[in-house]
Structure 1
Amino acid sequence: MDARNPGDPATYSTLEAVRRFNEAFDRHDVDGVMAAMTEDCVFENTCPPPDGERYEGQDAVRRFWERFFSSSPDSRFTTEEIFASGDRCIVRWRYDWESGNGTPGHVRGVDIFRVRGGKVAEKLAYAKG
């Protein structure tokens, strides 16, 4: 068993759904990200502290991703670890960016995904710091 073949069909489906989501996300492809999410999707952002903002439904989540990708076109997320069980998946990540003056920065965090019907239904994001 490994991340590509976890043995359990539900876990495999979850990992595949999160993989599709992450591939679109890495391309900053809003249409691809939204195609990987359910109609009633939920996204909870890391900001503003302490609880972040919650977005519900395709329209609200799409608007967030459009703003996010346009405000940080050169940013990137790197998956540091991924594991799943059933319909849940945890991704430990690092987010890197450059500020307007070229100063690099990064933050680490985790996303907790719930998958339903082969698509991401929830993405709850948490960051260190």
Structure 2
Amino acid sequence: MTGPMTGPVTGPVTSATLAAFSAAWNRHDIDALMDFMSTDCIFQSAAGPDACGSRHVGAQAVRQAFAAVWHAVPDAQWVGGRHFVHGDFGVSQWTFTGTAADGSRIEADGIDVFTFRDGKIHLKNVFRKVRPNLPAPR
């Protein structure tokens, strides 16, 4: 296993683990992200047809859903991260920024609610406060 800025650490999940997970998102590093996830992981996105958004179950489905975020918003970043862990439960707070396919800017505040199992992220459940699209940068 690698250190807190490049990949998961051994032992229980801590706020430093979630900070490293966030850093992997900002690097668009799918392999590092998946190292943090359990093999039977679940990702519940902020939007989708169900009350939970879109639900992706299992490492392969989660990997594809994570990668789709960067496809949709190639300059996606999660800034201002704050992370909290208590036992097998954690929260990351952030501001999502990026550029949509139509060129408009996206900015949304949100949180990830996590559950952990055996030192890995088992569930990543996303909640966002979406603001109207901002004008494209000039």
Q: TM-score with structure 1 length normalisation?
A: 0.80
User: 2:32 maps to what in 1?
Assistant: 32
Cα RMSD of the aligned pairs, angstroms, is 2.0
Question: Which amino acid in structure 2 is aligned with residue 45 of structure 1?
Answer: S
Question: Which amino acid in structure 2 is aligned with residue 93 of structure 1?
Answer: W
Quick check: 1:75–1:96 contact (8 Å CA) kept in 2?
A: yes
Quick check: 1:14–1:118 contact (8 Å CA) kept in 2?
A: no
Question: Which amino acid in structure 1 is aligned with residue 108 of structure 2?
Answer: V
Residue 95 (1) aligns with residue 96 (2)? yes
Quick check: 1:18–1:120 contact (8 Å CA) kept in 2?
A: no
**What is the CA–CA distance in structure 1 between the aligned matches of 2:42 and 2:79, rounded to whole Å?**
22
Which runs of 5 or more structure 2 residues have no equivalent in the other structure?
Answer: 1-11, 131-138
More helix by share: 1
Q: Deviations over 1:77-116 (max 9, x none)?
A: 1144221211111111110112335432201111101122
Quick check: 1:43–1:124 contact (8 Å CA) kept in 2?
A: yes
**What is the CA–CA distance in structure 1 between the aligned matches of 2:25 and 2:101, rounded to whole Å?**
22
Question: Which amino acid in structure 1 is aligned with residue 93 of structure 2?
Answer: R
Residue 76 (1) aligns with residue 73 (2)? no
Name whichever of 14-23 and 86-95 sits farther off. 14-23
Which runs of 5 or more structure 1 residues have no equivalent in the other structure?
Answer: 1-11
Quick check: 2:41–2:57 contact (8 Å CA) kept in 1?
A: yes
Which structure has the higher relative contact order (CA within 8 Å, separation 6+)? 1
Aligned residues, how many?
119
User: 1:23 maps to what in 2?
Assistant: 23
Percent of paired sites with the same residue: 29
Q: TM-score with structure 2 length normalisation?
A: 0.76
Task: Specify whether residues 63 and 100 from structure 1 end up closer, same or farther in structure 2 by C-alpha distance, changes over 3 A only.
Answer: closer
